[in-house]
Amino acid sequence: MRLFKPFLVILILFFYCVPNNINGQNKTQMNAQKLGTTLYLIENFYTDTVNLDKVTEDAIIAALKELDPHSAYISKKDVEKANEQLVGSFEGIGVTFQLVRDTITVIGPTAGGPSERVGIMAGDKFVKIDGEDAVGKKIDNEWVQKHLRGKKGTKVTVTVKRGNDPELMDFEIIRDKIPLNSINAFFMMEKNVGYIKLDRFAQESTKEFKNALADLKKRGMKSLILDLRSNTGGYLNTAIELVDQFLKANQLIVYTEGLHSPRQEWKSTDAGDYTEGKLVVLIDEGSASASEILSGAVQDHDRGVIIGRRSFGKGLVQRPFNLPDGAVIRLTTARYHTPTGRCIQRPYEEGTEEYYKEMTKRLEHGEYFHADSIHFPDSLKYKTDNGRVVYGGGGIMPDIFMPIDTSFNSKLYTNLVRKGVFNKYTVDYAMANRENLKKQYPEFSHFNKDFQITDAMMEEVKAVAEKEKVTWNDEEYQRSEKYIKLQIKALIARNVWEMQQYYEVTLTEDPTIKKAMEVVGSDRAYKNALR
């Protein structure tokens, strides 16, 4: 902060010279002087030592909170981490891991990544990293990332315990760039229906999507289910590119407008790879921003059927502005509007705290369970290309409402998740049975169809739960039995195969997926949803 002192001295002298007359200076200049003067006074006259960097950051954060819920300050040290998920890669050793009993357990190495190249295998336990003990209560996700991530080309030595082998093994791994995929899963379902699960709208998402789409088409896809549930958004350009895949040329995708940002429109081109087949888009209260741009455009042009629950309602455009020290302010500069003119953003006039209580209010009002608990005034009524009525006022309301599934929501199920019982059991089970499972089920589809969670396995799960001090309630177990067994099977699939197989298991009992399959499986049902 000392670097800025001459500038602050100039400000304070100027302030003292003209205390009651701003001589035509605008409000921005006056407020900049006021802030600079305040910092100068604190640094030079306050009775105690002050961390002026922190005071400045706190002042910026407090100011942004007064504007809207999505304008944000990102410190220099957090900028790279904040961008990482959207840029689509990081530099490290390339493993998916879980912390099981204070130990780093490898779920699987990234295909083609540096760990796979040296022979790291699923089930391996990292007991030392560069000679430092990597077990115990000090080990958390932050510690692991700090020790395993690093610049491309740098080396790290991990000491591994593999299975029951008493001898530890050392692996020298050269860090490399590791891709972060934004599509968690894509595969064919029944009746020529393809499924794509998009996790975020990142830098490489369009490329990933087009590759997945081409693969599914080769396998005979005629209808597509695009799952945007819990997708919190990402890059505007990526959202526009993905909408472009579904629309015919010259259709409005989205427009933005703000006080200092004139209206800007984006329209589709003739480059769409999927402009004809049936399309279902799944959304829920966790779908936000870019997810709402896509689902709003699809709905307004009657291009597909939206199924699920009302989306989050985040329709503010943030533009990044770099600060002198490398920090970034993401400032809201405009609002998103769907092609019909609907504003996606829900109200936030009551302040940020109340804004983020909205999801709890939706639950209390019964919105997660009954579509008719949601009421929109006629002033927010809009019409799609086909003349269907849709509403603005915050978020995208689906064409077909699906209540939240509460059958798994028992205290027992919650505690099993919270205490990590599912993870602990399935990691151990997969490590002990991986080879046998792959021999018994050479094709994953056979596992998905035939593998069952036995009573003996559930007794083992109970034993793990007891160790983790989870009280086993038989009544709650009976209520959630189907979903407890489903979660166990899905996690075993993920640990033996990959994340995609986790989704292939869980979606077999997903009510929203079943409804989507029902809609695309019937021409009549599909057309009725778009009337």
Which of 98-112, 305-319, 468-482 is least confident? 98-112
- State in words which class domain 89-179 has: mainly beta
Would you state the structure tokens that stand for residue 357, as one six-digit string? 């209580």
The DSSP element (H or E) to which 418 belongs, if any, is: helix 411-418
Two tokens at 397? 């309301």
Average of per-residue pLDDT across 358-386: 83
Confirm whether 65 is a catalytic residue. Answer: no
d(CA 198, CA 202) in angstroms, rounded, equals 10
Q: What's the pLDDT score for residue 363?
A: 82
Of the spans 13-17, 68-72, 408-412, which averages the highest pLDDT?
A: 68-72
Confidence band, pLDDT 50/70/90 cuts, at residue 7: very low
Q: Return the number of other C-beta atoms located less than 10 Å from residue 54's C-beta.
A: 10
Chain-centroid distance of CA 201 in Å reads: 9
pLDDT for residue 21: 45
Looking at the predicted structure, is the pLDDT value of residue 450 above 50? yes
Average pLDDT over residues 234-250: 96
Inform me whether the pLDDT recorded for 302 exceeds 70: yes
Q: 199, 300, 399, 510: which one is catalytic?
A: 300
Q: Mind listing the pLDDT tens digit for each residue in 163-174?
A: 777 889 888 898
- Flag whether pLDDT at 3 surpasses 70: no
> In this predicted model, what pLDDT tens digit does every residue of 201-239 receive, in sequence order?
998 999 999 999 999 999 999 999 999 998 989 899 999
Place 529 in a pLDDT band, splitting at 50, 70 and 90. Answer: very high
SS3 275: coil
Rounded to the nearest angstrom, the gap between the alpha carbon of residue 195 and the centroid of all alpha carbons in its chain is 18
Q: What is the mean pLDDT of residues 135-145?
A: 85
Q: Say whether pLDDT at 340 is over 80.
A: yes
Name the 3-class secondary structure at 220: coil
Mean pLDDT, the chain, rounded, equals 88
Q: Cα separation of 136 and 52, whole Å? A: 37
183-404 — its CATH code?
A: 3.90.226.10
- pLDDT at residue 345 above 70? yes
Determine phi and psi for 36, rounding to 5 degrees: -60, -40
- 156 pLDDT more than 50: yes
Q: What is the mean pLDDT of residues 495-509?
A: 91
Does 11 score more than 70 pLDDT?
Answer: no
From the candidates 71, 289, 295, 480, give the one annotated as an active-site residue: 289
Cα–Cα distance, 114 to 155 (Å, whole number): 10
Kindly state the average pLDDT of the residues 492-497.
90
* CB burial of residue 489 (10 Å; 0-12, 13-18, 19+): buried
Tokens 């968690």 belong to residue: 184
Q: Is 146 a catalytic residue?
A: no
Contact 224, 196 (CB under 8 A): yes
Q: Nearest 10 degrees: CA dihedral of 486, 487, 488, 489?
A: 50
Going from N- to C-terminal start, the domains of the chain cover: 2-50, 89-179, 183-404, 411-497
Residue keyed to tokens 């829900």: 346
Confidence of residue 312 (pLDDT cuts 50, 70, 90): very high
| Cα–Cα distance, 93 to 396 (Å, whole number) | 40
pLDDT at residue 124 tops 90: no
Provide the pLDDT for residue 17.
41
Q: Which residue has the higher pLDDT, 19 or 531?
A: 531
- Asked whether the predicted pLDDT for residue 48 surpasses 80, the reply is yes
300 is catalytic: yes
Report the share of the chain in percent with pLDDT over 70.
93
- Identify the pLDDT of residue 113: 78
State percent of the chain over pLDDT 90.
59
Most confident of 21-25, 89-93, 406-410: 89-93
Q: What is the pLDDT averaged over residues 478-501?
A: 92
**pLDDT class of 85 with cuts at 50, 70, 90:** low
Pairing of strands 125-129, 155-161: antiparallel
Weakest mean pLDDT among 3-7, 332-336, 480-484: 3-7
Kindly state the average pLDDT of the residues 324-329: 93
In the predicted model, is pLDDT for residue 264 greater than 60?
A: yes
Q: Is the dihedral of CA 451, 452, 454, 457 positive or negative?
A: positive
Is the pLDDT reported for residue 22 higher than 50?
Answer: no
Inform me whether the pLDDT recorded for 351 exceeds 90: no
Q: Under a CB-based contact definition with an 8 Å cutoff, are residues 385 and 515 in contact? A: no
Q: Mark 122-153 as b/e (b = at least 16 C-beta within 10 Å).
A: bbbbbebbeeeebbeeebeeebbeebbbbeee
At residue 109, does pLDDT exceed 90? no
Say which of 125, 161, 197, 314 is annotated catalytic.
Answer: 314
Per-residue model confidence (pLDDT) at position 88:
61
Q: What is the mean pLDDT of residues 316-344?
A: 94
The CB density around residue 30, as the number of other CB atoms within 10 Å, is: 12
